[in-house]
């Protein structure tokens, strides 16, 4: 029976408690000023199941709290499925469109067998934002763990472990069939490399001008000189870098000289973050390797495995009968002669409803309202068939 805060209460032990069908409007609409608009609960199937071929299957709205809440003790809180479009769509004009939270596992899990598992898009902000207070904000795993199309900015250290830093372009001699790859130059210092070509004056000297920021950025300079077109045994650095210039001498008039200068960074950031060439492994990584197979160690001794843990199998979507067009599962048929649980209560409720409808028919008959009478008679027939 309905209580003081319930408009309709429907109980079914075998079929639907409430089923609403609308060809072009809302099948079932639930509204509550200060409680739950629609609440669905199931111990073995779907708590609430909504389906629409052209519009919204289930719509939940709230002006000050949660529009729709899905909760499950062991399965999916909310599961969205679409054979040809978006399974779950979240939209917010001023806040988070979809928010996933997990105390022990995945906050949001996206999976696709043939396309994008998870897609983030933004017109003016971040398409995807990952944040972690003490772990990894974003983890990518796979043959290609990450791919970026466009400019990439890194604020902080950039470390390549168990890999190569390289650039890749279409091969200039065979761009249709080959790639050309180069590896980066590495050093145990934060080195900058500069080079150029100078032409010596009549006295066999040349002054090389450097950018105005050169000495503000660099220090501890190293020089290399190479004469072009002939030997120059007396070629040397006559004056070291000062006021962003240095001087070459010891050559012949008109000689071309290739020069190279390296400097070690000394700017404010480099001074505050000195480069450590050797570092001790943290306690949790002792006895582990970036690439165990190079040291004849098993894969279980991988640093990456230790950091991420043994990845659990991703959650599997519930098995939905395809032949019924994504209909919720129906209750099993009862054997002949065996009464289903609660059948006696159901029949008593039907009899009570039939008696109430008959009473209304008598009242309407006295008022000569034939259309209302016919409608109530149809309802009586439906209830009898359900018995």
pLDDT in tens, 149-188: 888 887 777 777 777 788 888 999 999 999 999 888 888 9
- Decide if 172 contacts 180 (C-beta within 8 A): yes
User: What was the pLDDT predicted at 323?
Assistant: 43
Of these ranges, 186-190, 195-199, 300-304, the one predicted with the greatest mean pLDDT is: 195-199
Residue scoring higher pLDDT (174 or 108): 174
CA distance 242 to 118: 55
Model confidence at 333, pLDDT cuts 50, 70, 90, reads very low
Query: Residue range 309-325: average pLDDT?
Result: 51
Token couple for 235: 């070629």
Residue scoring higher pLDDT (377 or 364): 377
For residue 375, the Cα-to-chain-centroid distance in whole angstroms is 53
Range of weakest confidence among 208-212, 305-309, 340-344:
340-344
Alpha-helical segments (H) within the chain = 214-217, 268-272, 303-308, 343-366, 370-386
Bridge-based pairing of strands 218-228 and 206-209 is unpaired
**CATH code that applies to domain 191-272:** 2.60.40
For the chain, the average pLDDT equals 77
CA distance 209 to 245: 5
Q: Name the residue among 276, 157, 249, 261 with its Cα closest to residue 210.
A: 261
> In this model, does residue 76 exceed pLDDT 90?
no
Helix (H, G, I), strand (E, B) or coil at 136: coil
Question: Which residue is listed with tokens 């200060």?
Answer: 34
Q: How many CB atoms lie within 10 A of CB 30?
A: 19
- Decide if 162 contacts 154 (C-beta within 8 A): no
- Decide if 206 contacts 246 (C-beta within 8 A): no
Token couple for 59: 């719509």
CA distance 206 to 287: 56
Q: Considering Cα of 355, then 360, then 362, then 365, what sign does the dihedral take? A: negative
Helix (H, G, I), strand (E, B) or coil at 33: coil
Long-range pairs, 52-61, Cβ under 8 A, ≥24:
59/26, 61/37
Question: pLDDT, tens digit, for every residue of 235-246?
Answer: 999 999 999 999
Q: How many CB atoms lie within 10 A of CB 246?
A: 20
Q: Name the residue among 77, 23, 89, 87 with its Cα closest to residue 48.
A: 77
Question: pLDDT, tens digit, for every residue of 273-294?
Answer: 898 999 999 898 899 998 899 9
Q: Name the residue among 47, 67, 57, 74 with its Cα closest to residue 21.
A: 57
Token couple for 348: 């008593």
- Decide if 338 contacts 14 (C-beta within 8 A): no
Environment class of residue 4 by beta-carbon count within 10 Å: exposed (0-12), middle (13-18) or buried (19+)?
exposed
Question: pLDDT, tens digit, for every residue of 30-75?
Answer: 777 766 667 777 666 666 666 666 666 677 777 777 777 777 777 7
Environment class of residue 88 by beta-carbon count within 10 Å: exposed (0-12), middle (13-18) or buried (19+)?
exposed
Q: Where are the beta strands (DSSP E) in 184-294?
A: 191-199, 206-209, 218-228, 236-242, 245-249, 256-265
Q: Name the residue among 341, 340, 323, 320 with its Cα closest to residue 45.
A: 320
Bridge-based pairing of strands 166-170 and 179-183 is antiparallel
Write the CB contacts of 201 (distance below 8 Å, at least 6 apart in sequence). 253
Model confidence at 338, pLDDT cuts 50, 70, 90, reads very low
Q: Name the residue among 182, 151, 148, 187 with its Cα closest to residue 168.
A: 182
């Amino acid at each position: 029976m309905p209580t003081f805060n319930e408009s309709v209460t429907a109980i079914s032990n075998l079929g639907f408690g409430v089923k609403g069908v609308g060809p072009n409007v809302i099948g079932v609409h639930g509204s509550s000023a200060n409680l739950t608009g629609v609440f669905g609960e199931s111990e073995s199937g779907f708590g609430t199941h909504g389906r629409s071929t052209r519009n919204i299957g289930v719509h939940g709205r709230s002006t000050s709290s949660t529009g729709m809440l899905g909760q499950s003790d062991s399965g999916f809180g909310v599961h969205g499925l679409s054979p040809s479009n978006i399974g779950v769509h979240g939209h917010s004009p001023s806040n988070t469109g979809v928010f996933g939270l997990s105390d022990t596992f995945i906050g949001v899990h996206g999976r696709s067998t043939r396309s994008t598992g998870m897609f983030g898009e933004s017109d003016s902000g971040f398409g995807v934002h990952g944040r972690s207070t003490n772990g990894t904000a974003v983890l990518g795993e796979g043959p290609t763990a990450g791919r970026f199309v466009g400019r990439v900015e890194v604020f902080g250290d950039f470390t390549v472990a168990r890999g190569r830093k390289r650039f890749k372009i279409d091969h200039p001699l065979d761009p249709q069939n080959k790639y050309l790859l180069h590896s980066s130059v590495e050093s145990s210092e934060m080195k900058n490399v500069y080079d150029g070509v100078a032409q010596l004056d009549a006295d066999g000297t040349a002054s090389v001008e450097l950018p105005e920021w050169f000495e503000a950025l660099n220090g501890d300079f190293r020089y290399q000189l190479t004469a072009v077109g002939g030997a120059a045994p007396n070629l040397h650095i006559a004056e070291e870098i000062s006021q962003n210039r240095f001087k070459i001498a010891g050559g012949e008039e008109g000689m071309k000289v290739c020069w190279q200068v390296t400097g070690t960074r000394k700017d404010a950031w480099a001074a505050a973050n000195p480069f450590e060439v050797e570092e001790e492994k943290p306690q949790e990584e002792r006895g582990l390797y970036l690439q165990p197979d190079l040291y004849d160690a098993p894969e279980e001794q991988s640093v990456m495995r230790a950091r991420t843990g043994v990845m659990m199998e991703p959650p599997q979507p519930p098995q939905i009968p395809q032949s019924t067009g994504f209909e919720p599962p129906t209750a099993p048929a009862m054997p002949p002669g065996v009464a289903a649980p609660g059948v006696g209560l159901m029949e008593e409720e039907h009899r009570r409803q039939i008696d109430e409808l008959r009473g209304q028919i008598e009242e309407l008959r006295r008022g000569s309202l034939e259309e209302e009478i016919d409608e109530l008679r149809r309802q009586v027939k439906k209830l009898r068939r359900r018995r």
